[in-house]
Chain A
Amino acid sequence: LAKTTQPISMDSYEGQEVNITCSHNNIATNDYITWYQQFPSQGPRFIIQGYKTKVTNEVASLFIPADRKSSTLSLPRVSLSDTAVYYCLVGGGTGTASKLTFGTGTRLQVTL
């Protein structure tokens, strides 16, 4: 499974846009990019998933350049409740369920 690299932590003020970039230089042709969010004492929660270009849903956008060696999770107008750890994962392209490989994630702290 491709290894991912993310910043250990980020700080933001409420109302700002936050962009978290993940590097995955060894991503395979059929791998997808998935982001999870984890609050303290809870299980990870799926945020968004993409293969290439841009994906947008009600909570976030995911930007993936043409070479797919990196991706950027964009959270518009964050609030205090977005304080959490965000994990970038790659894999799952084989058509069958497979284990997720979590790195240490990015700890986002949102303040007033």
Chain B
Amino acid sequence: NAGVTQTPKFQVLKTGQSMTLQCAQDMNHNSMYWYRQDPGMGLRLIYYSASEGTTDKGEVPNGYNVSRLNKREFSLRLESAAPSQTSVYFCASSAYGTRNTEAFFGQGTRLTVV
């Protein structure tokens, strides 16, 4: 029972570098999400994908892009990392949206941009 798997767990980037955070779920869920968590601010939605083939912006999408590669995988890309993107990133999935269904979270990726 892997659930939601994120890679990598830790990453240090230099300002301006790019990287892709990977997320995969094995629960046959339709919806997937990327959040960032900063101290004292809870989780903020970056992008989400209601179903395979669709993606939409969340609250803080600037500086990020996403790809819903297939039903299982949803990746988050930082094209030119900035120190303000230092955060813990969480991927989540749910069966179908969040209307009366719970979300399952990965263990997070701790990203530091120097």
Does chain A bind chain B? no
